[in-house]
Structure 1
């Protein structure tokens, strides 16, 4: 999911720790889907409560990945052609391969004689009567360049990451020449843009020039994940690392404010069983002030982590190597992990993290074994 550290640079171990946290949090989010997606789950008080508790806590995962990308790749130190060839090719091939496999899976279940309901057991967003026809699978495959679907939900991140990679060499010109003050000004405008989803939802959809014929409002050009790219770069290069005491004293209330806003907002929206998907996701948006606060606090704390164990450092390095592969295959395994946790009668309040641990271990072992025994092919399969 993320670029590997250049071989000539000393390894930044705390970034490996941050990456591990982000990968595990992503898996946890998808393990929480059965608690949040269906109206039946939302109507179950216990499921609804724990789905909201965990789902709100886990929102920093994707912003953390983007911040790491900004730290490692900005400013871009190679030509456009070399950057696109090295970065885009690394994610494009696995992205296409796994998108095809995910879309062929419904057809394969039909070939094996499995019921249509199998799809909803494996993929949380799949309908219980999902089509198992080969023609529908081919149609979905043909649409891969344009959109993801209920079988390829995690691939949304790859579409976004490809966009960031296409944009990054241009963005890099400004980052490389910008002063600290100029970076702060950009981040200030970006911070204001984080409030726009709430302003559009609760005040008016037509703000700052946005209208039926124009979606590019005043702050559009400062909005989105590019802010997290710059935030990661700015914090590492322009902000002196604080001592543990100051980090904890400042980070805890910042995280708490973001978390409380996320949780209360999500619970308020989902209290209505008829809420739309957009309403359900409103307070879970990655580019929102509440999630940005949690992300900032989490980042500042993990930045202080120091790992001295050589075995642990090697393990973290291996997880980083396997990270994209783990991300690509984990959505296949979530249903299995949930079934295992269910068979073990894991209490509801532990079901999400335990399922995530099961899924993570299975994926890591599989991808790591592939790299060990077939490194040449695994590079293209997993990135």
Structure 2
């Protein structure tokens, strides 16, 4: 299967990057919860609307990289060389930038930023704690940990993808589809009298000594990779009118579940972020419905390839890596400066953040010795 450059993929990567920034711009508004109902609802609405952002990135990786045609060593060398250096750099740079920001004298109005977490001692610890996991300053980098895992697995799954029949792929995607509804089965199980296993409420074999239930190996972001590969090998070849007739209702249904479920969860479990996140899971069936709808429509859009589009697309990785601290700056600048509705503020914060992040990436791209930090 030929993997030629796709102009629509460049455009989709740019759009997905902006949607990620938009989602993070919603966080302080969602964090108001019942303290400011209007701001919470605005943040929840837009945050739910842009939920396909990360799965779209993953589907692009599946469409462009699968099946892997090289040996494992070559593939790992190419991908890790591109990702590890900027990942390590920004894992250490972001805590330093947050420390400088908190102690710059800038008045912080975000409910999510806790100044006590940005002392000298805490900042120094964060410079190596990324070896274990991300933290608040590097929240957006959770995606990189996951992406590294997908890269590690791509050469493993590629031989099967190359010889798999259409029916084989249907089987895999069907099992993955079951995993998409399990988070909601877990939420509903207590209604049927299920109280967990020794206090652990996991399903299908999950317990304190085993995190790997029946559908674990078919779950998560791997399904998006395989789905994108499937759509590349077996394109639907629908007209735009047919695509829209299917995708728009599917998207609206997924969005209604996402937004409505988020608001209802806050109502019945106020301030319970663990429960709220279930509705926003990227690998939940509702977000899947939204993601595949956007992906199918974007595939149909005729985009003229251009060097400018390609360059901007290539810079989105750096924008993603550095943007989170600029979301904080944007909120502190925009929020007290205008009485506009929360939705307008969120858009202004996202636009400011994208512009500043892109400027940083382009400045670092000028010098060869800093280009690897963002490209």
**Which one is further off, 164-173 or 153-162?**
164-173
Distance 1:96 1:357, change over 3 A: same
Distance 1:129 1:77, change over 3 A: same
Distance 2:161 2:148 in 1: 19
Deviating above 6 A after TM superposition, structure 1's stretches of 4 or more consecutive aligned residues are none
Question: Deviations for 1:48-76, whole angstroms, at most 9, x for unmatched residues?
Answer: 22111101111100000000000111111
Question: Deviations for 1:10-29, whole angstroms, at most 9, x for unmatched residues?
Answer: 43111011111100100000
Distance 1:57 1:23 in 2: 14
Q: How many angstroms does 1:83 deviate by?
A: 0.9
Question: Deviations for 1:145-173, whole angstroms, at most 9, x for unmatched residues?
Answer: 11111111001000000111111110112
2:43/2:342 contact within 8 Å kept = no
Q: How many angstroms does 1:80 deviate by?
A: 1.0
Question: Residue 211 of structure 1: SS of its match in structure 2?
Answer: coil
* Residue ranges of structure 1 left out of the alignment (5+ in a row): 1-7
Q: How many angstroms does 1:198 deviate by?
A: 1.4
Distance 2:218 2:153 in 1: 13
Q: How many angstroms does 1:237 deviate by?
A: 1.6
Q: How many angstroms does 1:335 deviate by?
A: 2.1
Q: 1:36 aligns with which of 30, 33, 43?
A: 30
Q: 1:268 aligns with which of 261, 264, 269?
A: 264
Task: Map 1:254-333 to 2 at 5 A.
Answer: 254-272=250-268, 274-308=270-304, 313-333=306-326
Q: How many angstroms does 1:302 deviate by?
A: 0.8
Question: Deviations for 1:110-165, whole angstroms, at most 9, x for unmatched residues?
Answer: 7x5648x75x74xx6432432312x3222222211111111110010000001111
RMSD of aligned Cα (Å): 2.1
Normalising by structure 2, we get a TM-score of 0.91
Question: Residue 78 of structure 1: SS of its match in structure 2?
Answer: coil
Q: Which residue of 1 aligns with 2:198?
A: none
Q: Which residue of 2 aligns with 1:244?
A: 240
1:106/1:130 contact within 8 Å kept = no
1:208/1:218 contact within 8 Å kept = yes
Distance 1:317 1:181 in 2: 35
1:18 is the counterpart of 2:12: yes
Q: Which residue of 1 aligns with 2:157?
A: 171
1:269/1:275 contact within 8 Å kept = no
Q: Which residue of 2 aligns with 1:130?
A: 117
1:215 is the counterpart of 2:208: no
Q: Which residue of 1 aligns with 2:83?
A: 91
Task: Map 1:120-159 to 2 at 5 A.
Answer: 121=110, 125-133=112-120, 135-159=121-145
Distance 1:139 1:150 in 2: 13
1:36/1:48 contact within 8 Å kept = yes
1:348 is the counterpart of 2:345: no
Distance 2:257 2:177 in 1: 16
Question: Deviations for 1:235-275, whole angstroms, at most 9, x for unmatched residues?
Answer: 12212331011001000111011100001110011124643
**Which one is further off, 63-72 or 40-49?**
40-49
1:370 is the counterpart of 2:357: no
Q: 1:184 aligns with which of 170, 176, 185?
A: 170
Q: How many angstroms does 1:202 deviate by?
A: 2.1
Distance 1:245 1:109, change over 3 A: closer
Distance 2:149 2:273 in 1: 24
1:380 is the counterpart of 2:372: yes
* Residue ranges of structure 2 left out of the alignment (5+ in a row): 195-200
Distance 1:215 1:9 in 2: 36
Distance 1:212 1:9, change over 3 A: closer
Q: How many angstroms does 1:297 deviate by?
A: 0.5
Question: Residue 303 of structure 1: SS of its match in structure 2?
Answer: helix
Distance 1:146 1:349 in 2: 36
Distance 2:210 2:27 in 1: 34
Q: How many angstroms does 1:379 deviate by?
A: 3.0
